[in-house]
Structure 1
Amino acid sequence: MSAPAGAIWGRVEQQDFRSRVRGTLLGAAVGDALGAPVDGLDLDGIQEGYGAEGIADFAFAYGRRGAVTHITQLTLFTVDGLIRAQVRRDTGAWHPPTDLHRAYLRWAATQRDWGPDERRKDDGWLAREEWLYARRDPARSLLLGFGDEHMGTLDAPKSPGEIGPEATARSAPFGLLVGWEPQLVVQLAVECAAQTHGHPVAYLSAGAYAVIVHGLARGETLDGAVQRALALLAARPGHQPVSDALQHALGAVRQGMPTPVRVEELAGDGSAEGVLAAAVYCALVGEDFRHGLCLAVNQDGPSGATAALTGGLLGALHGETALPPAWLAELEGRPTLLELADDFAMEMTQGPALHGPAGSSPGWLARYPRA
Structure 2
Amino acid sequence: MASIACNPSVPAPGDTAELRERARGALLGLAVGDALGAPAENMKPSEIRARWGRVTGFVTDNPSGTDDTEYAIFSGLLLARHGSALTPAHVETAWHEWIADRAEGPFRGAGFSERGTLENLRRGLAAPISAQHRHAWSDGLAMRAAPFGVFAAGRPAEAARLVAIDGSVSHDGEGIYGGQAVAAGVAAAMAGAPTIAVVASALAVVPDDSWTARSLRRAVAVAHRGERAVRSAVVIGGYPWTDLAPEAVALAFGAYAAADGDFVQAVLTAVNMGRDADTTAAVAGALAGATQGEPAIPTEWASAIGPARGSCLPSMAGHHVLDVAELLTPGEGGKWGAGGCAPSELPARGEAPSPHSFALLTDTETEARP
Same fold by TM-score, threshold 0.5 exceeded? yes
Tell me, what secondary structure is at the counterpart of 1:137?
coil
Partner Cα distance (2:126, 2:199) in 1: 28
> Alpha carbons of 1:222 and 1:101: their partners in 2 closer, same or farther (altered >3 Å)?
farther
Aligned to 2:99: 108
Aligned to 2:57: 57
Partner Cα distance (1:227, 1:152) in 2: 34
How far does the alpha carbon of each residue in 1:59-89 deviate from its partner, in whole angstroms, 9 at most, with x for none?
22xxx52211001000001110011103xx8
How far does the alpha carbon of each residue in 1:119-173 deviate from its partner, in whole angstroms, 9 at most, with x for none?
xxxxxxxxxxxxxxx6331013202313436575457733265322111111111
Aligned to 1:144: 116
Output the aligned Cα RMSD: 3.1
Partner Cα distance (1:292, 1:110) in 2: 38
Tell me, what secondary structure is at the counterpart of 2:320?
helix
How far does the alpha carbon of each residue in 1:171-214 deviate from its partner, in whole angstroms, 9 at most, with x for none?
1111123368433322221232232222x111111111111111
Aligned to 2:88: 97
TM-score in terms of structure 1 length: 0.76
Partner Cα distance (1:111, 1:156) in 2: 18
Partner Cα distance (2:109, 2:343) in 1: 32
Aligned to 2:357: none
2:19 counterpart (14, 17, 20): 17
How far does the alpha carbon of each residue in 1:311-347 deviate from its partner, in whole angstroms, 9 at most, with x for none?
0110111111111111011123287222221122246
How far does the alpha carbon of each residue in 1:273-308 deviate from its partner, in whole angstroms, 9 at most, with x for none?
111111111111226322221110112411111101
Farther-moved stretch of structure 1 (266-275 vs 316-325): 266-275
Aligned to 1:124: none
> Alpha carbons of 1:57 and 1:242: their partners in 2 closer, same or farther (altered >3 Å)?
same
Structure 1 position 225, deviation (Å): 2.4
Partner Cα distance (1:195, 1:143) in 2: 12
Aligned partner of 1:65: which letter? Answer: N
Aligned to 2:329: 345
How far does the alpha carbon of each residue in 1:231-258 deviate from its partner, in whole angstroms, 9 at most, with x for none?
33237xxx5211111211221134x3x1
Aligned to 1:195: 169
More helix by share: 1
Do the aligned partners of 1:176 and 1:214 also contact (CA within 8 Å) in 2?
yes
Structure 1 position 3, deviation (Å): 6.0
Between the aligned residues of both structures, percent identity stands at 23
Do the aligned partners of 1:167 and 1:206 also contact (CA within 8 Å) in 2?
yes
> Alpha carbons of 1:58 and 1:192: their partners in 2 closer, same or farther (altered >3 Å)?
same
1:29 counterpart (28, 31, 36): 31
Farther-moved stretch of structure 1 (69-78 vs 339-348): 339-348
Partner Cα distance (2:306, 2:28) in 1: 10
Aligned to 1:169: 143
Aligned partner of 1:44: which letter? Answer: S
Count the aligned residue pairs: 319
Tell me, what secondary structure is at the counterpart of 2:205?
helix
Alignment of 1:243 onto 2:213: yes
Alignment of 1:80 onto 2:82: no
Aligned to 2:158: 184
Structure 1 position 351, deviation (Å): 4.4
Do the aligned partners of 1:23 and 1:315 also contact (CA within 8 Å) in 2?
yes
Tell me, what secondary structure is at the counterpart of 1:186?
helix
Aligned partner of 1:158: which letter? Answer: Q
Aligned to 2:206: 233
Structure 1 position 350, deviation (Å): 4.4
Structure 1 position 109, deviation (Å): 5.6
Tell me, what secondary structure is at the counterpart of 1:233?
coil
> Alpha carbons of 1:308 and 1:355: their partners in 2 closer, same or farther (altered >3 Å)?
closer
Aligned to 2:361: none
How far does the alpha carbon of each residue in 1:98-125 deviate from its partner, in whole angstroms, 9 at most, with x for none?
33333344542698346xxxxxxxxxxx
Structure 1 position 260, deviation (Å): 3.2
Tell me, what secondary structure is at the counterpart of 1:330?
coil
Do the aligned partners of 1:66 and 1:332 also contact (CA within 8 Å) in 2?
no
Partner Cα distance (1:267, 1:32) in 2: 20
Aligned partner of 2:217: which letter? Answer: Q
Partner Cα distance (1:332, 1:188) in 2: 27
Partner Cα distance (2:219, 2:126) in 1: 30
Do the aligned partners of 1:2 and 1:13 also contact (CA within 8 Å) in 2?
no
Matches within 5 A, 1:279-298: 279-286=252-259, 288-298=262-272
Do the aligned partners of 2:230 and 2:254 also contact (CA within 8 Å) in 1?
no
Aligned to 1:40: 42
Aligned partner of 2:228: which letter? Answer: P
Partner Cα distance (1:367, 1:207) in 2: 28
Do the aligned partners of 1:253 and 1:284 also contact (CA within 8 Å) in 2?
yes
